[in-house]
Amino acid sequence: MGGLRVDLSGAEIRVDPAGGAAADDGGSPPVFLPRQPAAPPLLALDIGGTLIKLVYTASCGGGGAELRFAKFERRRMQECFDFVRAQGLVHRNGSTMGSSKENMALKASGGGAYKYTEDFREKLGVCLDKVDEMDSVVSGANFLLQSVPGAAFTHMNGKKSSVDISPNNLFPYLLVNIGSGVSILKVTGNRKFERVTGTHIGGGTMFGLAKLLTGCKSYDEFLQLSQKGDNFVLDLIVKDICGELVCQKQGLSTSTLASSFGKVITSKKKLTDYRPEDLASTLLSAFTYNIAQIMLEVDNISFLVASILRLRRVFFGGSYIRGHKSTMQNISYAIDFWSQSKMQAVFLQHEGYLGALGALMSYGDSGDKNMNLEEMKEEENIHESATPIDETSADEHNDGNIFPYLLVNIGSGVSMIEVTGNGKFERIIGSHLGGGTILGLARLLTGCSSYDEFLELSQRGNNLAVDLTVGDIYGEHGYPKIGLPASTTAASFGKVSSSRLSEYKVEDLAAALLNSFTYNIGQIAYFVANLSGLKRIFFRGAYICGHEKTMDKISHSLKYWSKGQVQTTFLCHEGFLGTLGAFWSYENMGIDGLAAHDVIREVLLGAPYTGQLPSLPLTHQQDNGEDTTFEGEVERLRHDNAVLKAELERLQRENTELKAKLVSEGKSSMALLWRSERQRLFNQPTTWFKSYERLG
């Protein structure tokens, strides 16, 4: 099939085509290729963790051909095989239509191209010519943006607007591909890109939870439910915490999302007491906001990554979007909010078929090769996953001054604050996926009544019973080209296939919840610290509460994302820092003028916890130029604090003695004055009586 290729010149989208196949994806209109031969037809597949996506050519009246699109759930692979036969895309002897050769190869992308090779050989008599997944996704996106007018659009405030993209001014851009999980790619040219990061909280997570919470059978059914629901029934918003008056005084929007599923914590309702529509709406808002933010930094993550890379153009693709208005609206709002209207979310027609389109484009590519896993391992990691980090050693940032640092406050939601000095701080960003979300979902899914009970459940569970791993998609070797081993979580809750909650152990669900959200918080914290140039992160909040498993997971997340360059420290009494701050503000305690700085330092540095990971040493530059270790610094602070406390006690004793003396001397002085004045008055009776008469 090496002589076959796709002619893209003159490509255009046909919104209302005639003669489309019944099984085609109605949300993805055909693309007309006026110069493409009608026969033989070409077929390419993208076999992902949840769906099989097909792109194929078909003849159309008047000459030329169309690119048509179809998708099937991976668990219903036989339906895919039947469709390929019914459309005449392969001969019964296994050859492609119009070819006399047998056992011809079909271009295929995605992890399933490796895992299901034998199934396609057995059922269709074809080989799968494997094309790298990330290469295919980028090629598919570039094809749409460079060759298909009207392929890109925005969706804001309910209005869809086409975006004109000049092929000469396309690069660089950020591509967020949302499938079962999320991959975020920086694209700098044709076949030039790097996978910047990704997250296991994607479409697979949302659909898995949707099955368990709402009982829906398909993703489209879930999207339809979400349009009829009200997320404010379960979501905690700013007004619920601060009250409307405080919101007005501080300039906060009363409807700002503070904690997804946060209202469940104080509610006595069970899962069956909530409407499926409201649960679906809450899930949709929770995860679309989170994905958009991750993008910018990267709903957290997309914004953060784009900011770090200084990119202002962000395109969204992946089968998770499906042209759904609420999904696009949520992502657009989140990008606009977090970027302060400096970035726009741009969506693509056929966004779920980027991988299959890229695979189709590879027909006739002389540089293409059928890679096997061993070749992928040996190939240099040109597109290897990388997170942008400052290569400066963490030790260079650790001096006697703890400032600046990032304080991550994990309560019902998450706030991230850059602290540059005493009384000098700025809230950088936050996330609605915090302790309230995890406990709210835990109550709905496991029936636990407290956070302690949830954590105890999670310790006895196995998250791999419900989480989809890279190995589940690619097989035992994982995805070595971008450095993802088989054990890597690809999509939290991505293995959930049944909508019956009773079929899953509550311990496994608890373990998956803890794994999902702690890693998400750690990832966002790293991006924020990276964006702000901070090398030290302190974690606090009632969500942590000294629980070792929670701290271990956050620590491992930070170590992974930062490649060990960011120091992770947990604080003593981490759930009470707000109360401690109010306590130390009492002026009559003498703390402000005497020991405030050292008291705060001792609270911050007194007992760091990094789980199984070694703590990076904090150092102090002494006058003689020698560095002391963190333990020595803490001991010095404790000694200084003891001296200051002793001095404070001495001053308080002297103050008490002085007050007593003043009171005693005051009484004696008043008595003497009264006796003297009385004697004077009696010695001048006339004057006294005259004064009395006037008073009378």
Residue 490 within a domain: no
Query: Between residues 527 and 660, which one has the greater pLDDT?
Result: 527
Q: Check if the beta carbon of residue 398 is closer than 8 Å to that of residue 615.
A: no
Residue 263 within a domain: no
Tell me the DSSP string of 390-437.
--S-GGGG-SS---SEEEEEESSSEEEEEEEETTEEEEEEEES-SHHH
Q: How far apart are the first and last CA of the chain?
A: 125
Across 313-322, 474-483, 554-563, 673-682, least confident range: 673-682
- Three-class SS state of 313: strand
pLDDT of residue 503: 96
Query: Between residues 509 and 599, which one has the greater pLDDT?
Result: 509
Condensed to tens digits (0 to 9), the pLDDT of residues 117-146 reads: 999 999 999 999 999 999 999 999 999 999
The answer to whether residue 363 scores a pLDDT higher than 90 is no
pLDDT of residue 636: 65
The answer to whether residue 377 scores a pLDDT higher than 50 is no
H/E run at residue 315: strand 313-317
The answer to whether residue 658 scores a pLDDT higher than 60 is yes
Condensed to tens digits (0 to 9), the pLDDT of residues 576-587 reads: 444 445 444 433
pLDDT of residue 411: 86
Which residues have C-beta within 8 Å of that of residue 346, sequence separation ≥ 6?
152, 153, 154, 163, 313, 314, 315, 316
Which residues have C-beta within 8 Å of that of residue 514, sequence separation ≥ 6?
438, 454, 455, 458, 463, 549, 550, 553
pLDDT of residue 574: 45
Percent of the chain with pLDDT over 90: 33
The answer to whether residue 240 scores a pLDDT higher than 90 is no
Containing structural domain, residue 44:
1-14+27-92+103-131
The answer to whether residue 349 scores a pLDDT higher than 80 is yes
pLDDT of residue 164: 87
Which value, to the nearest 10 degrees, does the dihedral of the CA atoms of residues 424, 425, 426, 427 take? -160
What is the residue-averaged pLDDT of the chain? Answer: 77
Q: Give the mean pLDDT of 90-97.
A: 50
Q: Give the mean pLDDT of 425-439.
A: 86
The answer to whether residue 602 scores a pLDDT higher than 50 is no
Whole-number Å distance between alpha carbons of 614 and 609 = 9
Query: Between residues 55 and 578, which one has the greater pLDDT?
Result: 55
Write down which residue in 540, 563, 583 finishes a domain. Answer: 583
The answer to whether residue 104 scores a pLDDT higher than 80 is no
The answer to whether residue 208 scores a pLDDT higher than 90 is yes
Residue 282, strand partner residues? none
Whole-number Å distance between alpha carbons of 679 and 685 = 10
Query: Between residues 274 and 398, which one has the greater pLDDT?
Result: 274
The answer to whether residue 348 scores a pLDDT higher than 60 is yes
pLDDT of residue 600: 35
Which residues have C-beta within 8 Å of that of residue 474, sequence separation ≥ 6?
111, 114, 115, 486
Whole-number Å distance between alpha carbons of 362 and 343 = 32
pLDDT of residue 294: 58
> At 545, is the pLDDT very low, low, confident or very high (cuts 50, 70, 90)?
low
Q: Domains in the chain: how many in total?
A: 2
Residue 527 within a domain: yes
The answer to whether residue 29 scores a pLDDT higher than 80 is yes
Query: pTM of the predicted model, to two decimals?
Result: 0.72
Which residues have C-beta within 8 Å of that of residue 582, sequence separation ≥ 6?
none
Q: Check if the beta carbon of residue 128 is closer than 8 Å to that of residue 105.
A: yes
Write down which residue in 533, 555, 583 finishes a domain. Answer: 583
pLDDT of residue 384: 34
pLDDT of residue 331: 84
* Residue at 172: amino acid letter: P
Residue 77 within a domain: yes
Which residues have C-beta within 8 Å of that of residue 165, sequence separation ≥ 6?
145, 146, 151, 152
- Three-class SS state of 518: helix
pLDDT of residue 631: 57
Exposure string of 21-40, with b = 16+ CB inside 10 Å and e = fewer, is bebbbebbbbbbbeebbbeb
Across 5-19, 402-416, 448-462, 676-690, least confident range: 676-690
The answer to whether residue 570 scores a pLDDT higher than 80 is yes
Write down which residue in 583, 605, 629 finishes a domain. Answer: 583
Residue 42 within a domain: yes
> At 671, is the pLDDT very low, low, confident or very high (cuts 50, 70, 90)?
low
Which stretch, 63-67, 92-96, 244-248, has highest mean pLDDT?
Answer: 63-67
Which CATH number characterizes residue 78's domain? Answer: 3.30.420.40
Closest CA relative to residue 432, chosen from 451, 410, 447, 449: 410
Query: Between residues 449 and 16, which one has the greater pLDDT?
Result: 449
Q: Give the mean pLDDT of 253-279.
A: 91
Residue 61 within a domain: yes
Which stretch, 28-37, 153-162, 499-508, 520-529, has highest mean pLDDT?
Answer: 499-508
The answer to whether residue 448 scores a pLDDT higher than 70 is yes
Residue 79 within a domain: yes
pLDDT of residue 665: 64
Residue 219 within a domain: no
> At 19, is the pLDDT very low, low, confident or very high (cuts 50, 70, 90)?
very low
